[in-house]
Structure 1
Amino acid sequence: MTITATTAITVTASGTGTTTGAIRTVLGDVLPGELGVCDAHDHLFLRSPLMPGHELDDPGAALAELDAFAAAGGQAVVQWTPRGMGRHLHALPDLSRRSGVRLVAATGMHQAKHYGQADLTPGVDELAELFVHELTSAPVRAGMIKVAGAYHHLDDHARHVMAAAAGAHHATGAPIGVHLEAGTAALDVLDLLCGTHGVAPDRVLLGHVHRFPDPAIHQQVAEAGAFLVFDGPSRPHHGTDWRLLASLRALVDAGHAHQILLGGDTVTSGARSTADGPGMPFLLTGLRPRIERELGADVAAAILTRNPARAFAVDWRDSPR
């Protein structure tokens, strides 16, 4: 199908399965239909030795950004900040209550370079147990697992963490979000998580796919059944935003509108809407109107509301709180 600016595509549940289970937010589990308009990959808090002076660690600034997102019509944000990177889990419930925005937190680990040596010592089984604890019994529970690949390959650390993430997934059902370095190694990730470790492809969310805007790779990932996360309009040095609509159009034309997610991926204070960047609201004030105009309102609703509800919904394998 060729999409024009006036063509509206109807995206139904046909072929995508029924949305069941619950989404685990920092205030408790909610039904998929209650999640609402969602920024599917972002950060309220973040700290790394690789980014000195750019920490996201101010609860007041985080609340201001959530308020701006809510004012634009946003209802949910998924924070992909994993263990050991300044998640401020204790602050998230209060921020959710005060802003009215549902928040989903992450467990997991990023690339080794973001950590000290002491953080890299747990074995696969021990690491999986840590992830399971944070997903099922921690005071503030995570609703997803974050892992990361390397540039055009998977290094030993990535394979180690992904093995633990797969174990935690099989124990809980939690989805696995993947940082693709510069958008690369997507097929390697699927081969490892799905081929080697038996994770269902629709439980894998591949982040930063827009940073490597190869339509053939996007098509292969979509045909495998994974979610494709287009994120980072707050990252000007990547320079691929101008290809976003073409990438989305190609996937929609091929029947994969139900596998697309959008996120802001705000990683510095200057990228927030309350500073000098587009921030979280831009997904709704900048990108949504373009998607509605070029691909249709129903596609926009699928990408921003229905798809996140499916991507993060889990039949949790523990006692719900």
Structure 2
Amino acid sequence: MGDPVVQTVLGPVGPQDLGHTQTHEHLFIDVRKPPPPGASPEFLRRDQEDIRLDNYYYARRHRISRHSRLDSVVDAKEEIAFYRAAGGGTIVDATPRGLGRDPRALREVSEASGVHVVMGSGYYIAAHQPPEVAAKSSAEITREIVDDLTIGVDGVRAGIIGEIGASWPMHPQEAKVLDAAVTAQRETGASLLLHPGRDRRAPIDLIRRVEKAGGDLSRTIMSHVDRTLFSVAELAEVASTGCVVEFDLFGQESSHYEYADIDMPNDATRIDYLIALRDLGRLDRLVIAQDICHRTHLRKYGGEGYAHILENVVPMMRRKGLSAADIEKITVGNPSSLLSLRL
């Protein structure tokens, strides 16, 4: 094997070339959902509206269809240009198969912007999996993931496994996909990005499943902890397993959260958690992102954009006591280590 490289949509690059990296974003994704049973004509009309200033909040709160799909190459190029201008070097596009992943479009955006893009692989939660997943064996799914990483789709190779979706309790199809993903990790050495169910027990449950299947916890990223775990003790428990803890909802600060009865932390609270985990000696287990996956997260539609961490969060991190070395470790060093592969 040669020196470690990071597999991007434009080919392998050196880990030292990534720069500031956000480990969980989406340039293209489709998370639309069917309208609720008995939805009124007014709801159905508003669900199909384009996003404007006068319906921005409604679109974001109710996740209307136009809000829940990123499919414009033009928008992606414009938005990623802000990220590049702010100092962004790399984005992990965590969109897996069946969720609007578009390898050719990712390549086009990366070429136009100069931003390294790392593509994901695998499948999301059962409710968003393509129907054919039900008939596939774990071995067949493993082969798909390994092929994504080693051969590619339309000439574009994945560089990470995930995001692998889990509900709570875990659906049998999700368990099958997770088993396949861990096998693919063992075969390729790629990092594994997990989407836990919305329950405090879910992250540790997933970690135990990965461990039982022989996965590498040091290269396993537990995403969405900022909507799942709400104490330093819980977060420290996850980090103590060797798993990487990902705070990836920076910029999403509304107290309203459609999917669970929680109080969503704000960015300042997220930074407090980072500091607490640093003080516990877990600095090397931390990464951050924004999980941009809706149109109203984009600047063009009134949102924070991919550069929010660089423009707004990093200065707050400094103000609250994280050193330049701490910030570099979280945003550059840890991601480059996780994304490195020996091909």
- TM-score band by shorter chain is 0.7 to 0.9
In structure 2, the residue matched to 1:46 is: 29
Aligned residue among 217, 221, 237 for 1:220: 237
In structure 2, the residue matched to 1:173 is: 189
Aligned residue among 255, 265, 280 for 1:240: 265
- Matched position secondary structure for 1:108: coil
Q: Could you list the per-position Cα deviations for residues 58-79 of structure 1 after superposition, in whole angstroms to 9, with x for gaps in the alignment?
A: 0000011110001111010000
Q: Matches of residues 208-287 of structure 1 in structure 2 within 5 Å?
A: 208-211=224-227, 212-235=229-252, 236=254, 237-238=256-257, 239-241=264-266, 242-287=268-313
Residue 180 (structure 1) shift: 1.7
Residue 233 (structure 1) shift: 2.5
In structure 2, the residue matched to 1:305 is: 332
CA contact under 8 A between 1:233 and 1:278: conserved in structure 2?
no
CA contact under 8 A between 1:24 and 1:141: conserved in structure 2?
yes
TM-score by length of 1: 0.88
Aligned residue among 83, 93, 98 for 1:84: 98
* Whole-angstrom distance in 2 between the partners of 1:31 and 1:154: 37
In structure 1, the residue matched to 2:166 is: 149
* Whole-angstrom distance in 1 between the partners of 2:24 and 2:146: 21
Aligned length: 295
* Whole-angstrom distance in 1 between the partners of 2:287 and 2:242: 13
Residue 116 (structure 1) shift: 4.0
Q: Could you list the per-position Cα deviations for residues 42-89 of structure 1 after superposition, in whole angstroms to 9, with x for gaps in the alignment?
A: 000001342633210000000111100011110100000000111111
- Matched position secondary structure for 1:76: strand
Residue 102 (structure 1) shift: 0.2
Q: Could you list the per-position Cα deviations for residues 12-65 of structure 1 after superposition, in whole angstroms to 9, with x for gaps in the alignment?
A: xxxxxxxx7211100111111111111111000001342633210000000111
**Bigger mean CA offset, 237-246 vs 33-42:** 237-246
Gaps of 5+ in 2: 34-62, 258-263
- Matched position secondary structure for 1:287: helix
In structure 2, the residue matched to 1:118 is: 132
When the two chains are superposed, the root-mean-square deviation of aligned CA atoms in Å is: 1.5
Gaps of 5+ in 1: 1-19, 317-321
4+ residue runs of structure 1 moved beyond 6 angstroms? none
Amino acid at match of 2:193: G
Amino acid at match of 1:66: I
Residue 234 (structure 1) shift: 4.0
CA contact under 8 A between 2:170 and 2:197: conserved in structure 1?
no
Amino acid at match of 1:306: G
Larger RCO (CA under 8 A, 6+ residues apart): 1
Q: Matches of residues 63-212 of structure 1 in structure 2 within 5 Å?
A: 63-138=77-152, 139-146=155-162, 147-151=164-168, 153-182=169-198, 184=200, 185-194=202-211, 196-211=212-227, 212=229
Amino acid at match of 1:258: D
CA contact under 8 A between 1:261 and 1:308: conserved in structure 2?
yes
* Whole-angstrom distance in 2 between the partners of 1:203 and 1:113: 26
- Matched position secondary structure for 1:181: coil
TM-score by length of 2: 0.83
* Whole-angstrom distance in 2 between the partners of 1:288 and 1:57: 29
% same residue: 28
In structure 2, the residue matched to 1:10 is: none
CA contact under 8 A between 1:213 and 1:243: conserved in structure 2?
no
CA distance 1:200–1:125, change in 2 (3 Å): same
* Whole-angstrom distance in 2 between the partners of 1:167 and 1:62: 33
Q: Which has the larger radius of gyration?
A: 2
Q: Could you list the per-position Cα deviations for residues 261-296 of structure 1 after superposition, in whole angstroms to 9, with x for gaps in the alignment?
A: 111101111111232111211010111111122211
In structure 1, the residue matched to 2:261 is: none
